[in-house]
Amino acid sequence: MAWRCSGATNAELITNLFNNGLIKDARVKDAMLKVDRAHYAPNSAYEDSPQYIGHAATISAPHMHASAAESLLAHLTPGSRVLDIGSGSGYLTAVLAHLVGPSGSVVGIDHIQPLVDLADANMRKSESGREMLASGQVRFVKGDGRLGWKEGAPYDAIHVGAAAAEHHEALVEQLKAPGRLFVPVEEGGQQYIFVVDKKGDGRVVRERLFAVSYVPLTDAPGA
């Protein structure tokens, strides 16, 4: 269905995704309309497909970003605190920031400094992005995402944009109760999306959703 959901403009791309049921929630649609994918994808920005951004990293297809945002949506309310691991181009970080609003905050973390710099530069291409960075609503940091980012914890929602080799308990520990983690994890030679809920009483419930193909979640080369 990807060919039906591409467009000549960002608005056309997002509208086509919505009309074809690949974006289901109006809040997610509105947030994605506010973030021009051309500021984050170096080529074919308005195609519903992943694009290479350098350093063995990609920006995911827009329908996957929509799926991630919708999976976390109940925890993306005004004032929520969010961690975006493997933030890459910074695109989803920006979408998440629009969902939590000015009273919320989003930290994007990547283990490759040039990608941290790229995400920051990409956000500065729009007035709203510059305002989010200046206010501290959004910040990008370098670090090993497998360990989360304790400085901003606890988080209402954590998104992981690369496939983990195992379930990293440090991420669950950094969730609020209640809170939700969206993470691809490799199991039996296949990657699956897991939604991990920390309930209000501290119980942790994991649900495997569907198979995917992501780049691996790693530390910096040579580290």
Whole-number pLDDT of residue 1: 47
Region of 86 on the Ramachandran plot (φ > 0 left; ψ -120 to 50 alpha; else beta):
left
CA–CA dist 214, 184 (Å, integer): 7
CA–CA dist 137, 66 (Å, integer): 21
The sign one gets for the Cα dihedral 75, 77, 82, 88 is positive
Q: Show pLDDT as tens, one digit a residue, over the chain (223 residues).
A: 454 688 999 999 999 999 999 999 999 999 999 999 999 999 999 999 999 999 988 899 999 999 999 999 999 999 999 999 999 999 999 999 999 999 999 999 999 999 999 999 999 999 999 999 999 999 999 999 889 999 999 999 999 987 666 677 899 999 999 999 998 877 667 788 888 999 999 999 988 876 665 555 555 443 3
> Beta strand pairing status for 155-160 and 81-85?
parallel
Using alpha carbons only, give the angle 191, 113, 42 rounded to the nearest 5 degrees.
Answer: 70
- Full 3-state SS string of the chain: CHHHHCCCCHHHHHHHHHHCCCCCCHHHHHHHHCCCHHHCCCCCCCCCCCEEEECCEEECCHHHHHHHHHHHHHHCCCCCEEEEECCCCCHHHHHHHHHHCCCCEEEEEECCHHHHHHHHHHHCCCHHHHHHHHHCCEEEEECCHHHCCHHHCCEEEEEECCEECCCCHHHHHCEEEEEEEEEEEEECCEEEEEEEEECCCCCEEEEEEEEECCCECCCCCCC
> Measured over all CA atoms, what is the biggest interatomic distance in the chain, rounded to whole angstroms?
48
The set of catalytic residues is 60
Whole-number pLDDT of residue 184: 82
- Domains in the chain (CATH in brackets) are 60-212 (3.40.50.150)
Q: What is the pTM of this model?
A: 0.91
The two tokens of residue 208 are 């495997």
Smallest CA-to-CA distance from 179 within 207, 146, 202 is with: 202
Length of the chain: 223
39-72 as b/e: b if 16+ CB within 10 A: bbbeeebbbbbbbebebebbbbbbbbbbbbbbbb
